[in-house]
Amino acid sequence: MRLTEQQRAELARRGWRPKQVLDSTMYEKLIRCDDGDEHPCAITVVTKTGEIEGIGGPIEGILELVAILGISPPGYRLVPDWRPFESAPQDGTEILAYRPDAGVFTAVYRPGLDEGGQDTDEWRWFSTDGEDLTSDLPTHWMPLPDGPVASALQGKEGETGC
């Protein structure tokens, strides 16, 4: 998707500069806010493939950008900033978790396991790989992205191996 002159003018008026020509099939990187701040990222875009890409600017600015560009392809959604881990759901829901030393991974709050591998009454945070996170909790979390939409997968079986 190429930006129209009107879109370019509106983006420039708001202080945004296009980082690249937008590809209507992926939207991996939209634009970047160049305000001189070393860490301007405040929102994450999750693509159909589950890839996560941080882009700069406050959430309000990104939502304005999406409205300006008219981006609303099925299977994509904007996910707000990473949330403090203390606010993560403790109901068995899998989430994306972040810890500076480990990066992004999936985690779930579930019953712990005894030495025999049986559930205990004590619930704890675990990575979905089975690592007990009790002594080294993540710092941030966000919901898992939606799965791809069925229409996006039609005709792609040969490409995905499904």
Residue scoring higher pLDDT (69 or 6): 6
pLDDT at residue 69 in the model: 58
Q: What's the CA gap between 79 and 93, in Å, rounded?
A: 17
- pTM score, whole prediction: 0.45
Whole-number pLDDT of residue 161: 42
Among residues 114, 145, 108, 113, the alpha carbon closest in space to that of 126 is found at: 108
79-91 pLDDT, tens digit per residue, is: 556 788 988 999 9
> What DSSP assignment string belongs to 72-104?
--TT-EEE---EEGGGS--SS--EEEEETTTEE
